[in-house]
Structure 1
Amino acid sequence: MNAQHVRPVGLKTFAQRLRERERLVGYWIGPDGTECAAGPGYDYVGTDGRRGAAHRSSRRAATLTLGARRRSACVVRVPSPDPVAIRTAVDGGARGVIIPMIGSLEEVRAAIRACRRWAAGTRRPGGPAGAESAAVDEQVARILMIDTPGAIAGLEAVCATPGLDAVYVDPAGLSAAFGTRFLGDPATAEILETELARIVGTARRAGIACGVHCPAGDSAAEWLWRGFTFATVSGSTTHPPQAAAAPHAVSLPLAA
Protein backbone atom coordinates (compact mmCIF):
# COMPACT_ATOMS: atom_id res chain seq x y z
CA MET A 1 0.00 0.00 0.00
CA ASN A 2 1.21 3.54 -0.74
CA ALA A 3 -0.20 7.01 -0.99
CA GLN A 4 -1.88 6.07 -4.26
CA HIS A 5 -3.09 2.71 -2.98
CA VAL A 6 -6.45 3.97 -1.71
CA ARG A 7 -9.45 1.83 -2.57
CA PRO A 8 -12.43 3.85 -3.82
CA VAL A 9 -15.60 3.29 -1.85
CA GLY A 10 -18.10 0.98 -3.54
CA LEU A 11 -15.67 -1.59 -4.93
CA LYS A 12 -14.86 -4.99 -3.44
CA THR A 13 -15.17 -5.39 0.30
CA PHE A 14 -12.17 -6.13 2.48
CA ALA A 15 -13.40 -9.71 2.95
CA GLN A 16 -13.72 -10.26 -0.79
CA ARG A 17 -10.23 -8.94 -1.43
CA LEU A 18 -8.82 -11.08 1.36
CA ARG A 19 -10.50 -14.22 0.00
CA GLU A 20 -9.13 -13.49 -3.45
CA ARG A 21 -5.66 -13.39 -1.90
CA GLU A 22 -4.95 -9.80 -2.92
CA ARG A 23 -1.90 -8.32 -1.26
CA LEU A 24 -3.16 -6.13 1.55
CA VAL A 25 -1.39 -3.94 4.09
CA GLY A 26 -2.84 -2.98 7.46
CA TYR A 27 -1.85 -1.00 10.52
CA TRP A 28 -2.17 -2.17 14.13
CA ILE A 29 -3.28 0.38 16.71
CA GLY A 30 -3.21 0.39 20.49
CA PRO A 31 -5.80 2.13 22.67
CA ASP A 32 -5.07 5.39 20.81
CA GLY A 33 -4.18 6.30 17.28
CA THR A 34 -7.34 5.48 15.32
CA GLU A 35 -7.67 8.96 13.82
CA CYS A 36 -4.08 8.86 12.57
CA ALA A 37 -4.42 5.36 11.11
CA ALA A 38 -7.83 6.00 9.51
CA GLY A 39 -6.58 8.65 7.10
CA PRO A 40 -3.72 7.29 4.97
CA GLY A 41 -5.80 4.58 3.30
CA TYR A 42 -4.53 1.32 4.75
CA ASP A 43 -6.50 -1.67 3.52
CA TYR A 44 -7.45 -2.39 7.12
CA VAL A 45 -6.71 -1.22 10.65
CA GLY A 46 -6.40 -3.79 13.43
CA THR A 47 -7.37 -3.24 17.04
CA ASP A 48 -6.62 -5.62 19.88
CA GLY A 49 -9.12 -7.14 22.28
CA ARG A 50 -6.68 -9.75 23.50
CA ARG A 51 -4.56 -7.54 25.70
CA GLY A 52 -5.73 -5.27 28.47
CA ALA A 53 -4.49 -2.05 26.86
CA ALA A 54 -7.48 -1.77 24.53
CA HIS A 55 -10.69 -1.58 26.52
CA ARG A 56 -13.93 -2.61 24.84
CA SER A 57 -15.09 1.00 24.67
CA SER A 58 -11.93 2.06 22.81
CA ARG A 59 -12.36 -0.81 20.35
CA ARG A 60 -15.94 0.32 19.79
CA ALA A 61 -14.78 3.89 19.17
CA ALA A 62 -12.17 2.63 16.71
CA THR A 63 -14.81 0.64 14.81
CA LEU A 64 -17.09 3.66 14.52
CA THR A 65 -14.27 6.00 13.48
CA LEU A 66 -13.05 3.66 10.76
CA GLY A 67 -16.60 3.05 9.57
CA ALA A 68 -17.23 6.78 9.30
CA ARG A 69 -14.03 7.44 7.35
CA ARG A 70 -14.75 4.54 4.95
CA ARG A 71 -11.12 4.17 3.91
CA SER A 72 -9.95 1.19 5.95
CA ALA A 73 -11.79 -1.89 7.20
CA CYS A 74 -11.78 -2.49 10.95
CA VAL A 75 -10.29 -5.82 12.01
CA VAL A 76 -10.64 -6.88 15.65
CA ARG A 77 -8.57 -9.52 17.42
CA VAL A 78 -10.84 -11.01 20.03
CA PRO A 79 -9.46 -12.33 23.35
CA SER A 80 -10.21 -16.01 22.67
CA PRO A 81 -12.44 -18.35 20.63
CA ASP A 82 -15.33 -17.47 22.94
CA PRO A 83 -18.38 -17.17 20.63
CA VAL A 84 -19.78 -14.30 22.73
CA ALA A 85 -16.65 -12.21 22.14
CA ILE A 86 -16.74 -12.99 18.42
CA ARG A 87 -20.41 -12.12 18.05
CA THR A 88 -19.86 -8.89 19.99
CA ALA A 89 -17.08 -7.84 17.60
CA VAL A 90 -19.19 -8.58 14.52
CA ASP A 91 -22.28 -6.89 15.94
CA GLY A 92 -20.10 -3.88 16.72
CA GLY A 93 -19.19 -3.48 13.06
CA ALA A 94 -15.88 -5.35 12.66
CA ARG A 95 -15.25 -6.41 9.08
CA GLY A 96 -12.63 -8.92 10.06
CA VAL A 97 -12.20 -11.01 13.21
CA ILE A 98 -8.86 -12.53 14.22
CA ILE A 99 -9.45 -15.49 16.54
CA PRO A 100 -6.50 -16.63 18.72
CA MET A 101 -5.87 -19.50 21.14
CA ILE A 102 -7.59 -22.26 19.18
CA GLY A 103 -7.27 -25.65 20.85
CA SER A 104 -9.31 -27.95 18.61
CA LEU A 105 -11.08 -28.21 15.27
CA GLU A 106 -14.42 -27.96 17.03
CA GLU A 107 -13.35 -24.58 18.39
CA VAL A 108 -12.48 -23.53 14.84
CA ARG A 109 -15.93 -24.54 13.59
CA ALA A 110 -17.68 -22.85 16.54
CA ALA A 111 -15.72 -19.64 15.94
CA ILE A 112 -16.74 -19.57 12.28
CA ARG A 113 -20.38 -20.16 13.20
CA ALA A 114 -20.20 -17.27 15.67
CA CYS A 115 -19.43 -14.93 12.75
CA ARG A 116 -22.60 -15.96 10.93
CA ARG A 117 -26.26 -15.36 11.50
CA TRP A 118 -28.70 -18.07 12.40
CA ALA A 119 -29.29 -20.61 10.89
CA ALA A 120 -25.90 -20.90 9.19
CA GLY A 121 -24.32 -19.72 12.41
CA THR A 122 -25.02 -18.76 16.02
CA ARG A 123 -25.23 -14.96 15.78
CA ARG A 124 -28.66 -13.44 16.23
CA PRO A 125 -29.93 -10.90 13.66
CA GLY A 126 -29.35 -7.26 14.47
CA GLY A 127 -26.52 -5.26 15.96
CA PRO A 128 -25.81 -1.61 16.68
CA ALA A 129 -23.56 -0.95 13.69
CA GLY A 130 -25.56 -2.15 10.71
CA ALA A 131 -25.08 -5.88 11.19
CA GLU A 132 -28.77 -6.57 10.63
CA SER A 133 -28.51 -7.82 7.05
CA ALA A 134 -27.84 -11.45 6.21
CA ALA A 135 -25.41 -10.17 3.57
CA VAL A 136 -23.08 -9.03 6.35
CA ASP A 137 -22.04 -12.65 6.89
CA GLU A 138 -20.00 -12.52 3.69
CA GLN A 139 -18.67 -9.05 4.50
CA VAL A 140 -16.89 -10.33 7.61
CA ALA A 141 -13.50 -12.00 7.17
CA ARG A 142 -12.95 -14.99 9.46
CA ILE A 143 -9.27 -15.18 10.35
CA LEU A 144 -7.69 -17.79 12.60
CA MET A 145 -4.47 -17.07 14.47
CA ILE A 146 -1.91 -19.87 14.48
CA ASP A 147 -0.46 -19.45 17.95
CA THR A 148 -0.98 -22.72 19.87
CA PRO A 149 0.57 -26.19 19.62
CA GLY A 150 -2.85 -27.55 18.63
CA ALA A 151 -3.24 -25.11 15.75
CA ILE A 152 0.30 -25.85 14.55
CA ALA A 153 -0.13 -29.63 14.73
CA GLY A 154 -3.52 -29.55 13.01
CA LEU A 155 -2.62 -26.89 10.44
CA GLU A 156 -3.76 -28.81 7.35
CA ALA A 157 -7.15 -29.63 8.85
CA VAL A 158 -7.54 -26.08 10.17
CA CYS A 159 -6.87 -24.51 6.78
CA ALA A 160 -9.34 -26.91 5.14
CA THR A 161 -12.18 -25.92 7.49
CA PRO A 162 -15.18 -24.67 5.46
CA GLY A 163 -15.87 -20.98 6.02
CA LEU A 164 -12.36 -20.04 7.12
CA ASP A 165 -10.97 -17.14 5.08
CA ALA A 166 -7.42 -16.79 6.37
CA VAL A 167 -4.80 -17.77 8.90
CA TYR A 168 -2.62 -15.22 10.70
CA VAL A 169 0.72 -15.44 12.49
CA ASP A 170 2.81 -13.27 14.75
CA PRO A 171 6.35 -14.68 14.34
CA ALA A 172 7.34 -13.49 17.81
CA GLY A 173 4.30 -15.13 19.39
CA LEU A 174 4.57 -18.27 17.29
CA SER A 175 8.18 -18.77 18.33
CA ALA A 176 7.08 -19.05 21.95
CA ALA A 177 5.30 -22.28 21.06
CA PHE A 178 8.71 -23.74 20.18
CA GLY A 179 10.34 -22.74 23.46
CA THR A 180 12.04 -19.56 22.25
CA ARG A 181 13.80 -17.82 25.10
CA PHE A 182 13.94 -14.42 23.40
CA LEU A 183 13.11 -12.87 20.03
CA GLY A 184 15.68 -14.06 17.50
CA ASP A 185 16.82 -16.99 19.66
CA PRO A 186 19.19 -18.97 17.38
CA ALA A 187 18.20 -22.22 19.09
CA THR A 188 14.73 -22.06 17.53
CA ALA A 189 15.34 -19.84 14.48
CA GLU A 190 15.46 -22.74 12.01
CA ILE A 191 12.26 -24.41 13.18
CA LEU A 192 10.46 -21.04 13.17
CA GLU A 193 11.48 -20.40 9.55
CA THR A 194 10.38 -23.92 8.60
CA GLU A 195 6.98 -23.52 10.25
CA LEU A 196 6.36 -20.09 8.73
CA ALA A 197 7.07 -21.51 5.27
CA ARG A 198 4.77 -24.45 6.03
CA ILE A 199 1.96 -22.13 7.09
CA VAL A 200 2.30 -20.09 3.89
CA GLY A 201 2.32 -23.21 1.71
CA THR A 202 -0.57 -24.90 3.50
CA ALA A 203 -2.75 -21.79 3.25
CA ARG A 204 -1.94 -21.42 -0.44
CA ARG A 205 -2.87 -25.03 -1.18
CA ALA A 206 -6.12 -24.61 0.75
CA GLY A 207 -6.91 -21.48 -1.27
CA ILE A 208 -7.12 -19.17 1.75
CA ALA A 209 -5.23 -16.01 2.65
CA CYS A 210 -2.26 -15.93 5.00
CA GLY A 211 -1.32 -12.90 7.11
CA VAL A 212 1.59 -11.85 9.28
CA HIS A 213 2.22 -9.36 12.08
CA CYS A 214 5.25 -7.10 11.41
CA PRO A 215 7.24 -4.60 13.46
CA ALA A 216 7.73 -2.16 10.56
CA GLY A 217 6.99 -1.43 6.93
CA ASP A 218 10.22 -2.87 5.53
CA SER A 219 9.58 -6.24 7.18
CA ALA A 220 5.99 -6.18 5.86
CA ALA A 221 7.32 -5.88 2.32
CA GLU A 222 9.71 -8.77 2.94
CA TRP A 223 6.96 -11.05 4.28
CA LEU A 224 4.73 -10.25 1.30
CA TRP A 225 7.60 -11.15 -1.00
CA ARG A 226 7.95 -14.46 0.88
CA GLY A 227 4.36 -15.46 0.13
CA PHE A 228 2.12 -13.94 2.79
CA THR A 229 -0.90 -12.25 1.24
CA PHE A 230 -1.51 -9.60 3.90
CA ALA A 231 0.73 -7.91 6.42
CA THR A 232 0.01 -5.75 9.46
CA VAL A 233 2.47 -3.08 10.57
CA SER A 234 2.54 -3.09 14.35
CA GLY A 235 1.87 0.58 14.82
CA SER A 236 1.22 2.39 18.06
CA THR A 237 2.21 -0.65 20.11
CA THR A 238 5.82 -0.01 19.08
CA HIS A 239 5.95 3.67 18.13
CA PRO A 240 3.80 6.79 18.51
CA PRO A 241 0.39 6.96 16.82
CA GLN A 242 1.61 9.84 14.63
CA ALA A 243 3.78 7.31 12.79
CA ALA A 244 0.66 5.90 11.16
CA ALA A 245 0.68 8.87 8.81
CA ALA A 246 4.44 9.03 8.33
CA PRO A 247 5.84 8.27 4.87
CA HIS A 248 7.94 5.31 6.09
CA ALA A 249 4.78 3.64 7.45
CA VAL A 250 2.52 4.44 4.51
CA SER A 251 4.76 3.82 1.51
CA LEU A 252 4.99 0.06 1.77
CA PRO A 253 6.23 -1.58 -1.44
CA LEU A 254 4.22 -4.60 -2.51
CA ALA A 255 6.07 -7.63 -3.76
CA ALA A 256 6.12 -8.23 -7.47
Structure 2
Amino acid sequence: MNHPAADVIAQAKQGKVTVGYWSVLDSPISNERVAMTGYDYIALDGQHGLMGYSGILANLMAIDAAHGPAGIVRVEANNAAVIGQALDAGARGVIVPLVNNSAEAEAAVQATRYPGTGMRSYGPMRSGLRVGPTPADSDGSVILLVMIETAEGLDNVESICAVEGVDGVYIGPSDLSLAVGGKRPNDPDVAEDFNAAVKRVLAAAKAAGRIAAIHTPSGAVARQRIEQGFTFVSIASDLTHLEQAARDHLAAVR
Protein backbone atom coordinates (compact mmCIF):
# COMPACT_ATOMS: atom_id res chain seq x y z
CA MET A 1 0.00 0.00 0.00
CA ASN A 2 2.80 2.42 0.83
CA HIS A 3 4.04 3.12 -2.65
CA PRO A 4 5.32 6.38 -4.18
CA ALA A 5 2.71 6.04 -6.92
CA ALA A 6 0.03 6.83 -4.37
CA ASP A 7 1.72 10.16 -3.69
CA VAL A 8 1.83 10.88 -7.44
CA ILE A 9 -1.93 10.48 -7.71
CA ALA A 10 -2.60 12.53 -4.58
CA GLN A 11 -0.39 15.35 -5.82
CA ALA A 12 -1.97 15.29 -9.27
CA LYS A 13 -5.40 15.67 -7.69
CA GLN A 14 -4.06 18.66 -5.77
CA GLY A 15 -3.14 20.35 -9.04
CA LYS A 16 0.61 19.87 -8.85
CA VAL A 17 2.50 19.49 -12.12
CA THR A 18 2.57 15.83 -13.11
CA VAL A 19 4.60 14.63 -16.10
CA GLY A 20 4.14 11.26 -17.72
CA TYR A 21 5.32 9.09 -20.57
CA TRP A 22 3.06 7.38 -23.09
CA SER A 23 3.50 3.72 -23.96
CA VAL A 24 1.91 1.91 -26.88
CA LEU A 25 4.26 -1.08 -27.06
CA ASP A 26 3.63 -4.29 -25.17
CA SER A 27 7.15 -4.28 -23.74
CA PRO A 28 7.38 -4.73 -19.96
CA ILE A 29 11.19 -4.60 -20.05
CA SER A 30 11.33 -1.20 -21.73
CA ASN A 31 8.50 0.16 -19.58
CA GLU A 32 10.35 -0.94 -16.45
CA ARG A 33 13.43 0.96 -17.64
CA VAL A 34 11.45 4.06 -18.58
CA ALA A 35 9.72 3.90 -15.21
CA MET A 36 13.12 4.30 -13.56
CA THR A 37 13.97 7.54 -15.39
CA GLY A 38 11.92 9.86 -13.18
CA TYR A 39 8.54 10.29 -14.84
CA ASP A 40 5.60 10.73 -12.49
CA TYR A 41 3.45 8.26 -14.38
CA ILE A 42 3.52 5.88 -17.33
CA ALA A 43 0.32 5.76 -19.37
CA LEU A 44 -0.43 2.49 -21.15
CA ASP A 45 -2.52 2.93 -24.26
CA GLY A 46 -5.26 0.32 -24.29
CA GLN A 47 -7.18 2.11 -27.03
CA HIS A 48 -4.70 2.63 -29.87
CA GLY A 49 -1.74 0.84 -28.34
CA LEU A 50 -0.44 -2.59 -29.31
CA MET A 51 -1.39 -4.45 -26.16
CA GLY A 52 -4.37 -6.37 -24.83
CA TYR A 53 -5.37 -7.08 -21.24
CA SER A 54 -2.48 -9.47 -20.56
CA GLY A 55 -0.09 -6.82 -21.86
CA ILE A 56 -1.64 -4.14 -19.67
CA LEU A 57 -1.32 -6.41 -16.65
CA ALA A 58 2.33 -7.30 -17.36
CA ASN A 59 3.30 -3.70 -18.05
CA LEU A 60 1.60 -2.44 -14.89
CA MET A 61 3.62 -4.97 -12.91
CA ALA A 62 6.81 -3.80 -14.62
CA ILE A 63 6.04 -0.17 -13.83
CA ASP A 64 5.35 -1.02 -10.19
CA ALA A 65 8.70 -2.83 -10.01
CA ALA A 66 10.40 0.55 -10.45
CA HIS A 67 8.83 1.76 -7.16
CA GLY A 68 8.20 5.24 -8.45
CA PRO A 69 5.73 6.27 -11.13
CA ALA A 70 2.03 5.53 -11.26
CA GLY A 71 0.77 3.15 -13.88
CA ILE A 72 -2.26 4.61 -15.66
CA VAL A 73 -4.32 3.08 -18.47
CA ARG A 74 -6.08 4.78 -21.34
CA VAL A 75 -8.90 2.26 -21.68
CA GLU A 76 -10.28 1.21 -25.03
CA ALA A 77 -13.74 2.64 -24.43
CA ASN A 78 -16.07 4.19 -21.88
CA ASN A 79 -17.16 0.75 -20.78
CA ALA A 80 -17.64 -0.38 -17.19
CA ALA A 81 -16.13 -3.81 -17.82
CA VAL A 82 -12.87 -2.58 -19.36
CA ILE A 83 -12.53 0.25 -16.84
CA GLY A 84 -13.01 -2.15 -13.95
CA GLN A 85 -10.61 -4.65 -15.46
CA ALA A 86 -7.87 -2.02 -15.80
CA LEU A 87 -8.34 -0.95 -12.20
CA ASP A 88 -8.45 -4.54 -10.96
CA ALA A 89 -5.12 -5.11 -12.74
CA GLY A 90 -3.60 -2.40 -10.58
CA ALA A 91 -3.92 0.78 -12.64
CA ARG A 92 -3.74 3.87 -10.44
CA GLY A 93 -6.20 5.56 -12.72
CA VAL A 94 -7.85 5.57 -16.11
CA ILE A 95 -8.08 7.93 -19.04
CA VAL A 96 -11.44 7.43 -20.75
CA PRO A 97 -11.67 8.35 -24.45
CA LEU A 98 -14.41 10.01 -26.47
CA VAL A 99 -16.52 11.44 -23.66
CA ASN A 100 -19.18 13.61 -25.27
CA ASN A 101 -21.45 14.82 -22.49
CA SER A 102 -22.12 14.83 -18.77
CA ALA A 103 -24.10 11.58 -18.90
CA GLU A 104 -21.14 9.76 -20.42
CA ALA A 105 -18.83 11.38 -17.87
CA GLU A 106 -21.13 10.17 -15.07
CA ALA A 107 -21.02 6.66 -16.53
CA ALA A 108 -17.21 6.74 -16.33
CA VAL A 109 -17.40 7.90 -12.71
CA GLN A 110 -19.81 5.07 -11.88
CA ALA A 111 -17.42 2.54 -13.40
CA THR A 112 -14.51 3.68 -11.22
CA ARG A 113 -16.41 3.66 -7.90
CA TYR A 114 -17.79 0.80 -5.86
CA PRO A 115 -21.47 0.62 -4.79
CA GLY A 116 -22.49 3.48 -2.60
CA THR A 117 -21.26 5.99 -5.13
CA GLY A 118 -20.80 3.81 -8.21
CA MET A 119 -21.26 0.44 -9.88
CA ARG A 120 -17.77 -1.04 -10.02
CA SER A 121 -17.85 -4.79 -9.49
CA TYR A 122 -15.76 -5.98 -6.55
CA GLY A 123 -12.83 -8.18 -7.50
CA PRO A 124 -9.50 -6.41 -6.84
CA MET A 125 -7.36 -9.23 -8.23
CA ARG A 126 -4.18 -7.19 -8.12
CA SER A 127 -5.24 -3.70 -7.15
CA GLY A 128 -5.86 -4.94 -3.61
CA LEU A 129 -2.11 -5.36 -3.24
CA ARG A 130 -1.31 -1.80 -4.29
CA VAL A 131 -4.32 0.46 -4.04
CA GLY A 132 -6.11 -1.27 -1.17
CA PRO A 133 -8.95 -3.76 -0.97
CA THR A 134 -11.36 -1.50 0.91
CA PRO A 135 -13.84 0.11 -1.51
CA ALA A 136 -13.71 3.52 0.14
CA ASP A 137 -9.91 3.55 0.03
CA SER A 138 -9.91 2.59 -3.63
CA ASP A 139 -12.57 5.12 -4.56
CA GLY A 140 -10.53 7.94 -3.10
CA SER A 141 -7.15 6.92 -4.45
CA VAL A 142 -7.74 6.28 -8.15
CA ILE A 143 -7.77 9.08 -10.70
CA LEU A 144 -10.30 9.52 -13.50
CA LEU A 145 -9.55 11.69 -16.50
CA VAL A 146 -12.07 11.94 -19.33
CA MET A 147 -10.96 12.87 -22.80
CA ILE A 148 -12.25 15.93 -24.63
CA GLU A 149 -11.60 15.18 -28.29
CA THR A 150 -14.90 15.49 -30.16
CA ALA A 151 -17.00 18.43 -31.27
CA GLU A 152 -19.77 17.37 -28.91
CA GLY A 153 -17.36 16.94 -26.03
CA LEU A 154 -15.99 20.42 -26.63
CA ASP A 155 -19.50 21.89 -26.74
CA ASN A 156 -20.26 20.23 -23.39
CA VAL A 157 -16.90 20.62 -21.68
CA GLU A 158 -18.23 22.89 -18.94
CA SER A 159 -20.98 20.47 -17.94
CA ILE A 160 -18.55 17.54 -18.17
CA CYS A 161 -16.20 19.32 -15.78
CA ALA A 162 -19.10 19.85 -13.38
CA VAL A 163 -19.66 16.10 -12.92
CA GLU A 164 -18.70 15.04 -9.40
CA GLY A 165 -16.03 12.36 -9.46
CA VAL A 166 -14.36 13.49 -12.67
CA ASP A 167 -10.86 14.43 -11.56
CA GLY A 168 -9.90 16.11 -14.79
CA VAL A 169 -10.26 16.48 -18.53
CA TYR A 170 -7.61 15.26 -20.94
CA ILE A 171 -7.19 16.74 -24.41
CA GLY A 172 -6.46 14.38 -27.27
CA PRO A 173 -4.87 16.88 -29.70
CA SER A 174 -5.10 14.76 -32.85
CA ASP A 175 -8.81 14.05 -32.53
CA LEU A 176 -9.59 17.54 -31.27
CA SER A 177 -7.91 19.07 -34.31
CA LEU A 178 -10.11 16.88 -36.52
CA ALA A 179 -13.16 17.82 -34.45
CA VAL A 180 -12.67 21.52 -35.18
CA GLY A 181 -12.49 20.90 -38.91
CA GLY A 182 -8.96 19.75 -39.62
CA LYS A 183 -8.43 17.45 -42.58
CA ARG A 184 -5.63 15.70 -40.70
CA PRO A 185 -4.21 15.82 -37.16
CA ASN A 186 -2.41 19.08 -36.39
CA ASP A 187 -3.76 20.67 -39.57
CA PRO A 188 -2.29 24.21 -39.69
CA ASP A 189 -5.40 25.44 -41.48
CA VAL A 190 -7.42 25.06 -38.26
CA ALA A 191 -4.68 26.17 -35.86
CA GLU A 192 -6.68 29.18 -34.66
CA ASP A 193 -9.80 27.11 -33.96
CA PHE A 194 -7.73 24.37 -32.32
CA ASN A 195 -5.95 26.83 -30.03
CA ALA A 196 -9.30 28.36 -29.07
CA ALA A 197 -10.61 24.89 -28.25
CA VAL A 198 -7.58 24.13 -26.08
CA LYS A 199 -8.05 27.39 -24.20
CA ARG A 200 -11.73 26.63 -23.65
CA VAL A 201 -10.99 23.21 -22.17
CA LEU A 202 -8.27 24.67 -19.97
CA ALA A 203 -10.58 27.44 -18.74
CA ALA A 204 -13.41 25.00 -18.03
CA ALA A 205 -11.12 22.73 -16.02
CA LYS A 206 -9.71 25.61 -14.00
CA ALA A 207 -13.14 27.08 -13.30
CA ALA A 208 -14.40 23.73 -11.98
CA GLY A 209 -11.26 22.94 -10.00
CA ARG A 210 -10.43 19.97 -12.23
CA ILE A 211 -7.10 18.76 -13.59
CA ALA A 212 -6.25 20.14 -17.02
CA ALA A 213 -4.41 17.41 -18.91
CA ILE A 214 -3.06 17.13 -22.44
CA HIS A 215 -0.95 14.91 -24.66
CA THR A 216 2.19 16.44 -26.15
CA PRO A 217 4.74 15.33 -28.77
CA SER A 218 7.85 16.36 -26.86
CA GLY A 219 9.30 17.64 -23.63
CA ALA A 220 9.61 21.11 -25.12
CA VAL A 221 5.92 21.25 -25.99
CA ALA A 222 5.05 19.75 -22.60
CA ARG A 223 6.90 22.63 -20.95
CA GLN A 224 4.92 25.13 -23.04
CA ARG A 225 1.65 23.49 -22.01
CA ILE A 226 2.65 23.62 -18.36
CA GLU A 227 3.44 27.32 -18.75
CA GLN A 228 0.00 27.71 -20.34
CA GLY A 229 -1.63 26.27 -17.24
CA PHE A 230 -1.89 22.51 -17.80
CA THR A 231 -0.76 20.46 -14.82
CA PHE A 232 -0.93 16.91 -16.21
CA VAL A 233 1.05 16.34 -19.40
CA SER A 234 1.98 13.19 -21.29
CA ILE A 235 4.98 13.05 -23.60
CA ALA A 236 5.13 11.38 -27.00
CA SER A 237 5.25 7.57 -27.06
CA ASP A 238 7.81 4.81 -26.97
CA LEU A 239 7.09 3.83 -30.59
CA THR A 240 7.59 7.33 -31.98
CA HIS A 241 10.77 7.78 -29.96
CA LEU A 242 12.14 4.45 -31.17
CA GLU A 243 11.55 5.43 -34.78
CA GLN A 244 12.98 8.91 -34.21
CA ALA A 245 16.15 7.56 -32.61
CA ALA A 246 16.62 5.00 -35.38
CA ARG A 247 16.24 7.68 -38.06
CA ASP A 248 18.63 10.05 -36.29
CA HIS A 249 21.34 7.41 -35.96
CA LEU A 250 20.90 6.35 -39.60
CA ALA A 251 21.14 9.97 -40.75
CA ALA A 252 24.32 10.44 -38.69
CA VAL A 253 26.06 7.40 -40.11
CA ARG A 254 25.18 8.26 -43.69
Q: Same fold (TM over 0.5)?
A: yes
Alpha-carbon contact 1:79-1:100 (below 8 Å) kept: yes
Amino acid at match of 2:15: R
Cα deviations across residues 175-199 of structure 1 (Å, max 9, x unaligned)?
0111212344232110000110111
Could you say which residue in structure 2 is the equivalent of 1:165?
Answer: 167
**Relative contact order higher in (CA < 8 Å, ≥ 6 apart):** 1
Count of equivalent residues: 236
Could you say which residue in structure 2 is the equivalent of 1:236?
Answer: 238
* Distance in 2 (alpha carbons) for counterparts of 1:92 and 1:127: 7
Could you say which residue in structure 1 is the equivalent of 2:55?
Answer: 58
Out of 137, 140, 150, the residue aligned to residue 138 of structure 1 is 140
Change (3 A) 1:11 1:100: closer
* Distance in 2 (alpha carbons) for counterparts of 1:158 and 1:104: 6
Q: Which consecutive residues of structure 1, in runs of 5 or more, have no partner in the other structure?
A: 1-7, 244-256
Q: TM-score, normalised by structure 2?
A: 0.87
Could you say which residue in structure 2 is the equivalent of 1:85?
Answer: 82
**Pairwise mapping of residues 83-232 of structure 1 onto structure 2 (< 5 A)?**
83-131=80-128, 132-134=133-135, 135-232=137-234
* Distance in 2 (alpha carbons) for counterparts of 1:149 and 1:197: 15
Amino acid at match of 1:82: N
| 1:143 CA displacement | 0.4
Alpha-carbon contact 1:26-1:231 (below 8 Å) kept: yes
Deviation >6 Å, runs of 4+: none
- SS of alignment partner, residue 47 of structure 1: strand
* Distance in 2 (alpha carbons) for counterparts of 1:157 and 1:41: 35
| 1:147 CA displacement | 1.1
- SS of alignment partner, residue 163 of structure 1: coil
Amino acid at match of 1:36: R
Out of 31, 41, 45, the residue aligned to residue 44 of structure 1 is 41
Aligned sequence identity (%): 32
- SS of alignment partner, residue 237 of structure 1: helix
Q: TM-score, normalised by structure 1?
A: 0.86
